[in-house]
């Protein structure tokens, strides 16, 4: 419906009241007309309540655990370096792939080393010929010195010359072995089985002795390196005073790895090493866990969370991460009261378990929390409530859980 024009109505009121066209009275009448017209306007209808998806808080009795931040590393890491210098003429492996111990990874121009080997072999042949001649002369002098044809001094001189020639042969043989090693070093090989990294040098580069070429890491199993507090270490030692108890507890400890996506790795780990000393700067001691990695999912350098579960269980409340709103250092959740009113509540959070967050304070069993739609509501607002369905739980499993038990025939 169209509103009636304001000024004609004001004019009618002005005429009916008989006010003069002079003075301020017509202005007052006009204001009265505007107010009357505004009251005639229809009020806007109220908006329906926001729809939010909720879930009921459940307390579960789960094992307590401790969690630390760690880094992954190969169980063995070999830095592949050049042992001789020269021009790099070939790369014989594909970066990022598995290689075997002894496999050729790079080749340096072998010609200078082949020439050095040929020269060393020639020197060895010359030294061997000299030694053979001096050995024969020594045998002849030995027969002559007995008959008096050669003096004892001449015989001793010949014996010293033969000894010198024998030493020259040994030195020439060492030079040949060195030249052979250098020629072999022109082929740079992997020292271990593992995954070879990206090459640090390119074909055509002039390589110096001891230049780093790449790194090969054995990634099955993988190491997870993390630090625990000195207090926790002392508690462990006091709980297991005997060496046999310590070894057994170390072997029986089960480690879980949480990757950067928050999900647990599907292989369990064990404690492999407890370091010999405590870091005086941080007051922590370093531990190393070993995790199987048959499919190569884990790679060195990744940041992970290492979790160790304990035997003691405790009451735990876990909620989806999207149900928690973080405002700097404050964590808020939207709780729906029995009359469907929003109660914005501050909570305390603990560790993360996959895509869930442990709530240590602020919630209790039976609370109804908003999982989706919290950004659309505010304190004291009425809402329309619908159940939240966890997308990580298959529908078939939910149906099977809710189905009545089968009767035994």
| pLDDT tens, per residue, the chain with 409 residues | 444 444 444 444 444 444 444 444 555 545 555 555 555 555 556 778 888 999 999 888 766 667 888 999 999 999 999 999 999 999 999 999 999 999 999 999 999 999 999 999 999 999 999 989 888 888 888 878 777 787 888 888 888 998 999 999 999 999 999 999 999 999 999 999 999 999 999 999 999 999 999 999 999 999 999 998 888 888 888 888 888 888 888 888 889 898 888 788 989 998 888 898 888 888 889 999 999 999 888 999 999 989 887 655 667 888 998 899 988 888 999 999 999 998 999 998 876 666 788 888 889 888 999 999 888 888 989 999 899 988 766 554 444 434 443 333 3
The CATH T-level fold of domain 49-77+218-392 is Elongation Factor Tu (Ef-tu); domain 3 (2.40.30)
- Sequence-distant (6+) residues with CB within 8 A of 123 are 172, 175
Q: What is the CATH number of domain 78-215?
A: 2.40.50.100
Alpha helices per DSSP H over 186-282: 230-239, 243-252
From CA 272, how far away is CA 15, in angstroms rounded? 101
- Distance (Å, whole) CA 39 – CA 165: 127
* CA atoms of 274 and 254, how far apart (whole Å): 15
Contacts of 23 (CB under 8 A, 6+ apart): none
SS (H, E, C) 119-165: HHHHHHHHHHHHHHHHHHHHHHHHHHHHHCCCCHHHHHHHHHHHHHH
């Amino acid at each position: 419906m169209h509103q009636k024009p304001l000024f004609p109505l004001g004019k009618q009121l002005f005429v009916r009241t008989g006010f003069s066209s002079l003075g301020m009275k017509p202005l007052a009448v006009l204001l009265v007309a505007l107010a009357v017209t505004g009251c005639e306007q229809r009020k806007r209808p109220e908006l329906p309540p926001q729809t939010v998806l909720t879930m009921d808080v459940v307390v579960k009795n789960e094992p307590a655990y401790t969690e630390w931040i760690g880094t992954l590393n190969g169980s063995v890491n070999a830095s592949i370096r050049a042992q001789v210098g020269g021009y790099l003429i070939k790369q014989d492996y594909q970066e990022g792939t598995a290689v075997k111990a002894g496999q050729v990874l790079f080749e340096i121009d072998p010609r200078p080393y082949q020439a050095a080997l040929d020269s060393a072999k020639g020197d060895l042949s010359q030294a061997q010929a000299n030694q053979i001649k001096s050995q024969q002369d020594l045998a002849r002098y030995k027969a002559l010195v007995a008959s008096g044809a050669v003096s004892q001094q001449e015989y001793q001189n010949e014996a010293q010359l033969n000894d010198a020639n024998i030493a020259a042969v040994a030195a020439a043989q060492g030079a040949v072995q060195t030249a052979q090693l250098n020629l072999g070093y022109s082929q740079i090989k992997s020292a271990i089985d593992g995954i070879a990294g990206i090459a640090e040098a390119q074909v055509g580069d002039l390589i110096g002795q001891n230049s780093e070429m790449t790194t090969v890491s054995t990634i099955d199993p993988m190491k997870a390196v993390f630090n625990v507090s000195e207090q926790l270490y002392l508690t462990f030692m006091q709980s297991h005073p005997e060496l046999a108890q310590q070894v057994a507890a170390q072997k029986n400890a089960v480690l879980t790895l949480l990757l950067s996506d928050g999900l647990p790795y599907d292989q369990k780990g064990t404690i492999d090493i407890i370091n010999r000393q405590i870091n005086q700067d941080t007051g922590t001691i370093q531990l190393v866990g070993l995790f199987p990695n048959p499919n190569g999912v884990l790679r060195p350098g990744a940041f992970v969370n290492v979790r160790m579960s304990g035997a003691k269980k405790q009451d735990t409340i876990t909620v989806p991460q999207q149900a928690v709103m973080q405002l700097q250092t404050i964590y808020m959740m939207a709780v729906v009261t029995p009359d469907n009113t929003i109660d914005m509540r501050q909570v305390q959070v603990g560790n993360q378990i996959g895509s869930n967050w442990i709530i240590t304070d602020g919630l209790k069993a039976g609370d109804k929390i908003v999982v989706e739609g919290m950004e659309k509501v505010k304190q004291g607002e009425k809402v329309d409530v619908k159940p939240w369905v966890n997308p990580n739980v298959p529908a078939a499993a939910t149906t099977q859980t809710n189905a009545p038990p089968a009767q035994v025939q």
